[in-house]
Amino acid sequence: MEDLRVNTKVLRIDPENIDMDLVREAAAAIRAGGIVAFPTETVYGLGADTYNPEAVKKVFIAKRRPMDNPLIVHIHSLNQLYEVAVKIPPEAEKLARRFWPGPMTLLLWKSDKVPPEVTAGRPTVAVRMPAHPVALAFIRESGVPIAAPSANLAGRPSPTTGEHVVRDLYGRADVIIDSGETVYGVESTIVDMTRDPPVLLRPGGLPVEEIERELGKEVVIPQFARGLGQADVALAPGMKYRHYAPFKRLTIVEGDYSDLKAYAAKVAEVVKQEIAKGARPIILCSSETAQYYEQQGLRHLVLGPRSNIFIVARNLFKTFRAIDEMLDVDEAFMEGFEERGLGLAVMNRARKASGFSIIRV
């Protein structure tokens, strides 16, 4: 794939006091066929005009992203939903009206307006309406839906701050909007609404349990949505390829979390075996087990409390990036978490980031 080098302009926009002149500057770059990194409530996205195939190709080139990995179309209103999707089932409209703007993406049948470059040639399109004031203003001012994956180099941890985007994409995106840290820290939940019952393609910021409650029925959860193996075909982002990975080796240590002291002792034993081999590991752990590792003299970083998995999800990607900055660490071992609520998204990302390197104790 060819490479892309451009002069990047960084625009710092306060989400609580939006400078509309700067938003219009970013939107003008979209209308001129450029690509713009912008904040959402989940992670930062790298966007192009959905209806401009040449601009969409630039997104893949800038990210070094495989062309068979489709993008998500970001909209600012339900009117735009009817532009990009057809044969929308009533259940999908129900979810859209309940959870948008928000961290939920729906896979629907695409309209003829959406070029094949956006959907990797498939007849379906992934659509969402982000819950971030800068994102909504940017899409509205652009005058078109914005096709965007996360604003990182392919395979790297998704960016949750403007600084992350600058590190990955400076010189590769025309404009980077920096609006500080995102809220959720993991991408949106993707649900395939072209099938009945609906199928979870990627867990994310909206727990699947909430979607099931709204629909009044179960959503099918395939093994790949748990981060256990890859899908054969990428119907939506995050399904097929290794994603979210730090450069350094990452291993997930899963077990019985009902007795955290016993579980932590098993994690510690795994790590001590690595130290005995000359490795320099660090443990990514929960608040509840941090004191045990401290007592054992084992290096660790706290992701957050098991009692508030939202914090763990928010800290996940920035912690993956942090271990890459540690010169005296060459690998990481991460505790597992229960697959409830946002815990399913955390485990999906962690397993994929590890390249499915999982130890069960």
Whether 352 is in a domain gets the answer: yes
What is the model's pLDDT at position 28?
A: 98
Please tell me whether residues 266 and 170 are part of one structural domain. no
What is the model's pLDDT at position 264?
A: 98
Please tell me whether residues 203 and 253 are part of one structural domain. no
Low-confidence winner among 94-108, 121-135, 200-214, 224-238 (lowest mean pLDDT): 224-238
Q: How crowded is the C-beta side of 12, counted as CA atoms within 13 Å?
A: 4
Residue 237 has pLDDT above 70, yes or no: no
Mean pLDDT of 196-221: 97
Whether 198 is in a domain gets the answer: yes
Please tell me whether residues 190 and 329 are part of one structural domain. no
- pLDDT band at 309, cuts 50/70/90? very high
Mean pLDDT of 64-76: 93
Cα(40)–Cα(76) distance, integer angstroms? 12
Mean pLDDT of 211-229: 94
Please tell me whether residues 295 and 178 are part of one structural domain. no
Task: Give the Cβ contact number of residue 341 at 10 Å.
Answer: 18
Low-confidence winner among 38-52, 184-198, 232-246, 306-320 (lowest mean pLDDT): 232-246
Mean pLDDT of 321-325: 94
Domain count, the chain: 2
pTM, rounded to two decimals: 0.93
Cα(36)–Cα(26) distance, integer angstroms? 7
Which residue ranges make up the annotated binding site for L-threonine? 42, 74, 128, 148, 188
What is the model's pLDDT at position 318?
A: 95
Whether 238 is in a domain gets the answer: no
Task: Give the Cβ contact number of residue 262 at 10 Å.
Answer: 12
Cα(355)–Cα(247) distance, integer angstroms? 11
- pLDDT band at 240, cuts 50/70/90? low
CATH, residue 71? 3.90.870.10
Cα(356)–Cα(243) distance, integer angstroms? 11
Residues of 83-104 as b/e, b for ≥16 C-beta within 10 angstroms? bbbeebbebbeebbeebbbbbb
Whether 3 is in a domain gets the answer: no
Residue 233 has pLDDT above 90, yes or no: no
Please tell me whether residues 218 and 257 are part of one structural domain. no
Cα(71)–Cα(320) distance, integer angstroms? 23
Three-class SS state of 324: helix
Please tell me whether residues 109 and 192 are part of one structural domain. yes
Contacts of 325 (CB under 8 A, 6+ apart): none
What is the model's pLDDT at position 120?
A: 94
Three-class SS state of 155: coil
Nearest to 354, CA basis, from 328, 336, 327 = 336
Please tell me whether residues 280 and 210 are part of one structural domain. no
Mean pLDDT of 161-186: 97
Please tell me whether residues 138 and 257 are part of one structural domain. no
Mean pLDDT of 59-63: 96
What are 277-304's pLDDT values in tens digits? Answer: 999 999 999 999 999 999 999 999 999 9
Please tell me whether residues 255 and 331 are part of one structural domain. yes
Of all residues in the chain, what percent carry a pLDDT higher than 70?
95
For the chain, give the mean pLDDT. 95
- pLDDT band at 16, cuts 50/70/90? very high
CATH, residue 271? 3.40.50.11030
Nearest to 292, CA basis, from 317, 326, 315, 269 = 269
Q: Whose structure tokens read 């451009």?
A: 6
Query: What's the alpha-carbon Rg for the chain, to the nearest Å?
Result: 20
What is the model's pLDDT at position 228?
A: 86
What is the model's pLDDT at position 36?
A: 98
CA dihedral 241, 244, 250, 253 (to 10 degrees): -90
What is the model's pLDDT at position 245?
A: 84
Please tell me whether residues 61 and 133 are part of one structural domain. yes
Which residue ranges make up the annotated binding site for ATP? 65, 69, 124, 150, 158, 202, 244
Question: 168: domain range?
Answer: 9-226
Please tell me whether residues 290 and 326 are part of one structural domain. yes
Which residue ranges make up the annotated binding site? 42, 65, 69, 74, 124, 128, 148, 150, 158, 188, 202, 244
- Per DSSP bridges, beta strands 124-128 and 72-74 are parallel
Please tell me whether residues 222 and 257 are part of one structural domain. no
DSSP 233-301: S-SSTTSSS--S--SSEEEEEE--TTSHHHHHHHHHHHHHHHHHTT--EEEEEEHHHHHHHHHTT--EE
Nearest to 154, CA basis, from 166, 164, 167, 168 = 168
Whether 197 is in a domain gets the answer: yes
Whether 345 is in a domain gets the answer: yes
Helix (H) or strand (E) holding 205: none
What is the model's pLDDT at position 236?
A: 63
Whether 233 is in a domain gets the answer: no
| SS3 labels along 59-112 | HHHHHCCCCCCCCEEECCCHHHHHHHEECCCHHHHHHHHHHCCCCEEEEEEECC
Mean pLDDT of 20-47: 98
Q: Do 38 and 25 meet the contact criterion of CB atoms below 8 Å apart?
A: no
Residue 241 has pLDDT above 70, yes or no: no
Whether 135 is in a domain gets the answer: yes
